[in-house]
């Protein structure tokens, strides 16, 4: 198999599998979340790491610093 055929076969395989890997639930939208209950718990300092997410001090270090937030029923101990 030539290099061109090999590259073409890999490209075709990638293109065919991309459709199956791309998932999107179009029934979920922001309007459905407007009346949802939410809860959060913070155990740390106002400017520091902590909280109920379970990441501990990992969020105080790069690359996660200032990029992590959580808000869902799966919070540790139900956010309490």
Which pLDDT band, with edges at 50, 70 and 90, does 11 fall under?
A: confident
Predicted confidence (pLDDT) at residue 22 exceeds the cutoff of 60: no
Residue-wise pLDDT for 31-72, tens only, equals 655 666 666 666 566 666 665 556 666 666 776 665 556 555
CB-CB neighbours of 70 under 10 Å: 14
By CB atoms closer than 10 A (0-12, 13-18, 19+), residue 51 is buried
Q: Give 80's contacts (C-beta < 8 A, 6+ positions apart).
A: 39, 41
- Predicted pLDDT at 5: 85
Query: Are the C-beta atoms of 60 and 53 separated by less than 8 Å?
Result: no
pTM value? Answer: 0.24
Q: Where are the domains of the chain?
A: 39-80
């Amino acid at each position: 198999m030539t290099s061109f055929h090999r590259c073409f076969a890999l490209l075709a395989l990638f293109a065919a599998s991309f459709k199956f890997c791309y998932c999107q639930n179009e029934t979920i939208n922001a309007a459905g979340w407007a009346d949802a209950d939410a809860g959060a718990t913070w155990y740390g300092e106002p400017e520091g790491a902590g909280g109920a997410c379970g990441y501990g001090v990992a969020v105080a270090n790069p690359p996660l610093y200032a990029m992590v937030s959580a808000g869902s029923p799966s919070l540790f101990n139900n956010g309490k």
